[in-house]
Amino acid sequence: MEFNNLLLEISDSIAVITLNRPKQLNALNKETIAELHQALEGLKNDAEVRVVILTGSGEKSFVAGADIKEFANFSVTEGTELAALGQTSLFDYIENYSKPVIAAVNGFALGGGLELAMSAHIRIASNNAKLGLPEVTLGLIPGYGGTQRLAQLVGKGRALEMILSAQMIKADRAYEMGLVNHLTELDELLPTAKGLAAKIAQNSPNAIHSAIKCVNAGYTDGMNGFKVEIEEFGKCFGTEDFTEGTTAFLEKRKPQF
C-alpha cells in the first residue's frame, strides 16, 4: 500500500502507521482520514499483523488537530456530514477494530488528534505531549467522538473542564487523570509501545477480538456488556486458539497462536 500522508512499517507482528504531514504538524484532513481507514482495512485481514501502533512523524506533534481550511466555509448540513463520516469511517472504526490499536502520542494531540488517540484501545504518551480539545475557541465542539470518549476515560467533570476551557494539559496530568496508560521519555515512546504490542501479540487473536468487543459493549447504549461477554466467552470454546491454549497449558509449554 502506498500513501501520500502515511508511512507504514510491518515487523514482528506489529504494524506501525505514522501520520506523515510534519509541515502541517500531522493535521487531519479528508485525505489523511481516508488513508488511515484504507491502511487499517488492509491490515485487518493480514494474519501477520497482530497489533497496530499509531504515531506522528517528528517530535513536535502526534496530530495537531483537523485541517481547519477544509471546513471553514461549511454549512450546517456539511458540518453534520463531516462529523458523521469521520466517526463512521475512522474513529468508531478504530474503537471497534478487531486488532488492538495503540496510540503512541508524541507532542501535540489536539482536537481531532486527541480524538484519534482516544479512539485507540491503549494510549502511551511521551513526556513532551500536550493534549487538549480546543474546538470551542473556533465556535465548535469536538465532532469525532471527543465529548463521549473523554468523559468515559476521565469522568464527566474533568471532561467538561477540558472541553469548556479549551486548555491543553501536559502528559503527566493526562497520566494522572487516566487519559493515557503510560508515560515515557520521547526516545522510549516507540520502544515502549512496541514492547507492549509484542506482549499482546503473543496471546490469542480470537480471544483479544472478543475482549475488545465485550469491553466496548459495556459503553454502548442499548447493549448489555454482561450478555455480550457470556456470548463471546462461549464462542471461544469453538476456536482453534482455545484448543491450542488449553493443550499448551496441560502440556506445560507456551501456546503457539
Instruction: Give me the active site residues, please.
Output: 115, 135
The per-residue DSSP string of 48-62 comes to T--EEEEEESTTTEE
Q: What's 68's DSSP letter?
A: G
CA-nearest of 84, 22, 27 to 58 is 22
Residue 19 parent element (H or E): strand 14-19
CA–CA distance, 226 with 132 (Å, rounded to integer) = 33
Q: Is the separation of the CB atoms in 183 and 171 below 8 Å? A: yes
CA–CA distance, 210 with 239 (Å, rounded to integer) = 12
**CA angle 63–202–11, rounded 5-degree value:** 50
Dihedral class, residue 55 (left if φ above 0, else alpha if ψ from -120 to 50, else beta): beta
Give the CA diameter of the chain: 65
